Chains A and B, each alone.
Chain A
């Protein structure tokens, strides 16, 4: 059974860069898309972007200027970098496996990132 686990700093200062890593276990990263999704406290889900195992990416236009997703299949990991964070970026960040037909079938438990000085 595929499992995903996010790891991150928990707290990031305003204007700094947020970095999160998702470790995939129980399966190969090949032939799937790997995605990041976030959820501000008490609010809905927002798709951030995805990366194919080969490295091609696609991002939410509203975040594209600040976001980079990368993959390291040798470590079974993919990562999210978000620059110039503000309090509005405070959220639970989920990593998820996305089937080639576009559904998110496996999710991590989520990692709360708080942006505060």
Chain B
């Protein structure tokens, strides 16, 4: 199955914007979804489809893509956004794979 690569860690100042990227061959054909995971908790879906947010997810979260790279952007980052973020996508045989994960630290 395809691999999805993310930067291991990023930091962002409170109130600033951070972009988390996910690279993989399958992203040129299938969209990424994004999950937020806080310590000791199950992951939570934050972006699905092209750029859709489930009910309850703040509009500071947005998704985009270009070629084989998908991005999750947090605009006006809040302290509660500090978490691990994972992208996910599928390949042509409907096998799913998660990205390597990015730890976001809010300064």
Contacts and interface: CB of A to CB of B under 8 A. Distances in A.
Contact of B98 (A46, A50, A61, A110): A46
B100 A44 contact: yes
Contacts of A35: 96
A74 B97 CA distance: 30
B87 to A, nearest CB: 10
A11 B105 CA distance: 34
Contacts, number: 58
Contact of B95 (A45, A61, A107): A61
A104 B96 CA distance: 11
Contacts of B1: 60-61
Nearest to B54: A105
A34 interface: no
A109 B37 CA distance: 12
A110 B38 CA distance: 13
Contact of A58 (B44, B54, B95): B95
A45 B33 contact: no
Nearest to B48: A103
Interface string A84-104: 000000000010000101111
25 contacts: A35-B96, A37-B98, A44-B98, A44-B101, A45-B35, A45-B86, A45-B88, A46-B98, A47-B88, A50-B96, A58-B93, A60-B95, A61-B1, A94-B42, A94-B43, A99-B48, A102-B33, A102-B90, A104-B43, A104-B45, A104-B88, A105-B54, A107-B42, A107-B43, A108-B42
Interface of B: 1, 30, 33, 35, 37, 42-45, 48-49, 54, 86, 88-90, 93-101
